[in-house]
Amino acid sequence: MTRLWLVERSYDDRNLISFTYATVDGTQQLRKELSMTLLRRRSRPITAAIEADEEELSAVDETDREQFATEAQKMASEHDPDDEI
């Protein structure tokens, strides 16, 4: 299992919220999309960090690596993994 930290949250016009979690070195990511309705009904909160299997992860584009690493390191230093975000 690999720990990933929330580095990006975005909304679209279809009422979907995308969450991007990345490793502290910014090289691996996991994206999740949830509808507002599902998010409200969800029993587990969105947290500062998650654990994921290696096979669930994808590579971060080189142009985003530094930003994702910076954001992941900031989240890791300011939050406990299970802090609600």
pLDDT of 42 reads 67
73 located within any domain: yes
61 located within any domain: yes
44 located within any domain: yes
29 located within any domain: yes
Q: Which domain holds residue 31?
A: 2-78
34 located within any domain: yes
CA–CA gap between residue 68 and residue 26 (Å, rounded): 5
Q: How many other CB atoms sit within 10 Å of the CB of residue 66?
A: 11
pTM: 0.88
**Length of the chain in terms of residues written:** 85
16 located within any domain: yes
List the chain pLDDT tens, one digit each, 85 residues.
999 999 999 988 788 889 999 999 999 999 998 887 777 776 678 899 999 999 999 999 999 999 999 999 999 999 999 999 8
Please tell me the total count of domains within the chain. Answer: 1
25 located within any domain: yes
DSSP string, 14-50: TSEEEEEEE-TTSSEEEEEEEEHHHHHH-SSPPBSEE
pLDDT of 43 reads 65
